[in-house]
Structure 1
Amino acid sequence: MAADTTVSKQPSETLTPLLEQALPNVKGKTFTSAIVDFPPNARAVPHRHGSAFVYAYVLQGTVRSQLAGGPVRTYHQGQNWVEQPGAHHLLTENTSRTKSTKLLVIFISNTGDKLKVDDPPK
């Protein structure tokens, strides 16, 4: 009998843009707001947000996060954090196996830049 070679892939997050608007008083910069939904047990691939300044607010659930050079932190509903331009996001995961986690994320980015660039697979 052949061994089962099915590999279960851990769920990932989805980003749903709410508003994208060029900043009228800061040439070349765009404001983007989005809801990031982490289903139960979801984990994001390590990534960067380019030259964007990022603000994240936990709307629902609990998320574990780590930026390069910093400790692993856990954020609960109502808590928030910022990421400086060029930050390397090593860990972002929903801590629950049964409930979704949702974040409101605000990006101040260079107009036209990608908001998330995943690390290449190893």
Structure 2
Amino acid sequence: MTSVRFASGLLAAGMVAASVACAPTAQRAIGQVPVAATVSQPPSETLSTLLEQALPNVKGKTFTSMIVSFPPAARAAPHRHGKAFVYAYVLEGTVRSQLSGQSVRTYHQGENWVEPPGAHHVLTENTSRTQPAKLLVIFVSNTGDKLKVDDPPR
């Protein structure tokens, strides 16, 4: 009798497991709590500092140059560059960019843009799904300021 109950219990557990496994991800539930579908995040950019140097003739200001590399389909989180003046030049690929209050622009190799101090950079992304993109970015900032501050997650 015990073996029959045990076998029945295994059969019931197996049927429940199979029905949960076969249900679409968005409809699966465990104790009335939906199982969240995993959302993959696009890859992000990487920053490599080339030069950081105090400006000798402008007290309290620093010149910084960086290479910003975007793998295919990479997107930067919305961010600001504090009080820094920013110059960006596309070394490779194509980058879509938008500052708050402005329209989206697409920049190709050899093109450039500037960002005034305090600008909110709401979009920066590599438009290609197969080719990398690369920027040379120059900052003139207050010495000691952070050069990139991502928006807090929502």
TM range (shorter): over 0.9
**TM-score, length of structure 1 as denominator length:** 0.97
Alignment match, 1:8: 40
Deviation at 1:92, TM superposition (A): 0.3
Distance 2:101 2:142 in 1: 24
Q: Matched residues in 2 for 1:8 and 1:118: separation?
A: 19
Q: Distance in 1 between matches of 2:100 and 2:58?
A: 29
Bigger share in strand: 1
Instruction: Specify the alignment match of 1:34 in structure 2.
Output: 66
Q: Which has the larger radius of gyration?
A: 2
Relative contact order, higher structure (CA 8 A, sep 6+)? 1
Provide the rounded CA distance (Å) in 2 between the counterparts of 1:71 and 1:53.
20
Aligned equivalent of 1:60: 92
SS at match of 1:20: strand
Count of residues paired in the alignment: 122
Unpaired segments ≥5 residues, structure 2: 1-20, 26-35
Deviates more, 1:34-43 or 1:2-11: 2-11
Q: Distance in 2 between matches of 1:104 and 1:74?
A: 16
| CA deviation string 1:1-21 (max 9, x = no partner) | 173843312100000000000
Question: Out of 83, 89, 92, which is 2:124 matched to?
Answer: 92
Note the aligned Cα RMSD (angstroms). Answer: 1.1
Report the alpha carbon displacement of residue 103 of structure 1 after superposing the two structures with TM: 0.2
Q: Could you report, residue by residue, the CA deviation over 1:36-89 in whole angstroms, capped at 9, with x for unpaired residues?
A: 000000000000000000000000000000001111000000000000000000
Q: Is structure 2 residue 141 aligned with structure 1 residue 113?
A: no
CA distance in structure 2 between the partners assigned to 1:113 and 1:39 by the alignment = 27
Higher helix share: 2
Which of 4, 11, 23 is the aligned partner of 2:55? Answer: 23
Say whether 1:83 aligns with 2:123: no
- TM-score normalised by the chain length of structure 2: 0.77
**Could you list the runs of 4 or more consecutive aligned residues of structure 1 that deviate by over 2 angstroms after TM superposition?**
2-7
